[in-house]
A and B are shown apart, each in its own frame.
Chain A
Amino acid sequence: MEIETNDFKRCTLVKANGRVDGLTAPKLEDTLNSVIDRGVYKIVFDMEGVDFMSSAGWWVLIETQKKCKRYNRGEVVLANVQERIRNSLDLVGMGTYFKIFEGVTAAVGHF
């Protein structure tokens, strides 16, 4: 899994490509934690390139969301979630914890 980050004026864009599973979720976690450690709590997670996501990945996103929303500092929003991945997110009831946008522009513009 490859991850890239881009800083915008009001948020940081994190884009992952490939599988997010028990093997790669720690790398995603490290990346998101490094963003938060810089004092950035408004994050767009672009999932256009994510073709597989297990609950290990959802858990990393949930933990990051907890940190970002604490003290109303910001939040994690999702962009370009593939339908089958969205289905599994909704099935385990985690969909309600994230705003989901159709494209990165809309997601970044949200902040």
Chain B
Amino acid sequence: MLVNLPAWYLMPTMTFPGNYTSLPAISAFITQFAREAGFDEHDVYAVELAVDEACTNIIEHGYNSEPGEITCTCQSTEDSIKIVLKDRGKSFDPEKVPQPDPTLPLEEVSARGAGLFLMKKMMDEVHFDFDPANGNVLTMVKHKSE
């Protein structure tokens, strides 16, 4: 007997190599879950972008070409999605990351902080937890648009 479980019964988890070649697969994993959880395409893209930016930061700054893994867990309720990313790369202080400044002249524009800024704009909640014993845990939550 086949049983179709609604997305909110499921909490799929996948572990990916911590390098850029994993980005398409991570996106596919996230977008499939978000669509099955009933999010519209606008919100699916927002979640996809936030997760891609987060994973890019883990790969570039956390692991910095050293081998490592990223574990991604998805969970949803009737009106929200929660993505948890775990890694064992270098930790950082989110408070010290600068925000993009759109008033800067072109020559002074820097990419620093754009990823984290987009994560905070795309998602409703972004929480970092850095534990030397358990590694880094990033939790992001998005509620469905009205």
Contact = CB atoms under 8 A, between A and B. Distances in A.
User: Do A and B form a real pair?
Assistant: yes
B94 interface: no
A92 to B, nearest CB: 5
B102 A93 contact: yes
B interface secondary structure, majority: helix
Interface string A18-39: 0101110000000000000000
Interface in B43-57: 45, 48-49, 52-53, 56
9 A-B pairs with least C-beta separation? A93-B102, A55-B114, A23-B20, A59-B111, A22-B56, A22-B20, A84-B45, A92-B100, A92-B114
Given A52-B27, A54-B49, A94-B102, A22 B59 contact: yes
A65 to B, nearest CB: 6
A97 B103 CA distance: 10
Nearest to A56: B56
User: Interface residue tally of chain A, by bracket?
Assistant: 20 to 34
A interface secondary structure, majority: helix
A55 B115 contact: yes
A23 B20 CA distance: 5
Contacts of A59: 111, 114
Contacts of A93: 100-103
A69 interface: yes
A59 B107 CA distance: 12
B60 interface: yes
A17 interface: no
B3 interface: no
Interface of B: 20-21, 23-24, 27, 42, 45, 48-49, 52-53, 56, 59-60, 100-103, 106-107, 109, 111, 114-115, 117-118, 121-122
Given A21-B56, A66-B107, 4 more contacts: A21-B27, A23-B20, A52-B49, A62-B106
Contacts of B122: 88
A22 B24 CA distance: 10
B118 A88 contact: yes
B32 to A, nearest CB: 14
